[in-house]
Amino acid sequence: MNTSIWQFIPARLLLALLVLAMGQGTLRAADTRVRIKDITSIEGDRINQLKGMGLVTGLAGTGGKTPLTRTVLMHFLQRNGIRYTEQLREALRNDTRDRTDNLSVVSVIADLPPGRREGETIDVIVSTIDDAESLQGGVLLFTPLTAVTGEVYAVAQGPLTVGGFSFSGDAATVQKNHPTTGRIPNGATIELATCSDVGRNGRVGLLLRHPGYETARRITVAINEVFADVATQISTSIVDLQIPLDYQLDPNGFIGRVGEIHVIPDVPAVVVINERTGTVIIGENVKLSQVLITHANLAIMTSENQIASQPLPFAPRGAETELLDRTQLEVVEEEHPVTIIPEQATVGDLAQALNALGVTPRDLSSIFQMLKESGNLHAELQIK
């Protein structure tokens, strides 16, 4: 990256200008080569999302106190052989004297990657459903995790790790992060394997993470240079691969070799502005027609002072000294030069021009919108 560009951008502007220009504003091809597996995913090779509802015990008075907490506890005890009459169940649902502040009803979620076998473990995330204040020190009880089909793919249990805390007194509360959300590393054991059908029918589909005709074409050409006539571009987001005869019994090996092939992805011309954080990202292919930009602000400074007003000589009886408010108002127009950006300016030229104008992240949004409306900005503009 050309460090001479960055020296024109003061840190106080809080701008993150991604300057992708070297030399005269272009990158060497070798610097932008990436692996195919870093910009694509395998069709059908997806993560399965699992969910469940469980009970966390062992909380030090920070658990839930709602009827939901008492109801779930009652159902849990019934499943473990403790029976309740209808009258007792109704009383427990509404009697707040039955303390449950060492318990919490929680939601349990996990991501099940493809190709996992029975007995392997995955992480789970636990979060409160009731009014529990903290899960610190809690233990999740045996909780089945189901997929969208309703089948149980894993079971979770174990002690939670919480990356936060919450302490309170009568008049103050101290909290860090979110103590009502925790994690159990390797907390779920897989009970049902997830099989992958990738390559079973003799073909593999590559899905582009950022679809584009040119990127898909380059991927197709690069693969066919290594494996003759196996890749076909289907659309902007799919490249179809026919597994060669040498890899019919080893489709995973073929996918691995394809993933290591390097290509130069086509980078779209886009400007992304996040006004909330003051972050600005400008792609390397962003170009401007020759345009003149002016930027001037009025700085208005006010100050409030009080002065003592003494009674005049021979003033009427009863006149007293008074404090009077005085407002000083000063208006200063900041002077900025008129900046002319040449035709087909590079990202580096644009960064220097914007810095010369002294723009702030909020001003950038307006400037780029005006450039887009005038037809001088040749890029997609995204404002977050």
Per-block average pLDDT, block size 10, for the chain (384 residues)?
Answer: 39 36 38 86 86 92 85 82 73 67 93 88 94 90 92 94 64 65 93 78 90 92 92 92 89 90 88 76 76 58 61 67 62 55 60 65 74 81 81
Structure token pair of residue 149: 């089909």
Torsion of CA 11, 12, 18, 19, to 10 degrees: -60
Backbone angles phi, psi at 157, to 5 degrees: -170, 165
Instruction: Please tell me the predicted confidence (pLDDT) of residue 160.
Output: 93
The amino acid that residue 159 corresponds to is: P
Instruction: Please tell me the predicted confidence (pLDDT) of residue 2.
Output: 42
Break the chain into its structural domains and give their ranges: 3-30+269-297+335-383, 48-190, 199-263
Asked if 215 and 265 touch (Cβ cutoff 8 Å), the reply is: yes
Structure token pair of residue 275: 């006004």
Instruction: Please tell me the predicted confidence (pLDDT) of residue 332.
Output: 53
Instruction: Please tell me the predicted confidence (pLDDT) of residue 6.
Output: 36
Instruction: Please tell me the predicted confidence (pLDDT) of residue 328.
Output: 60
Instruction: Please tell me the pTM assigned to this model.
Output: 0.62
For β-strands 139-146 and 173-176, DSSP reports them as unpaired
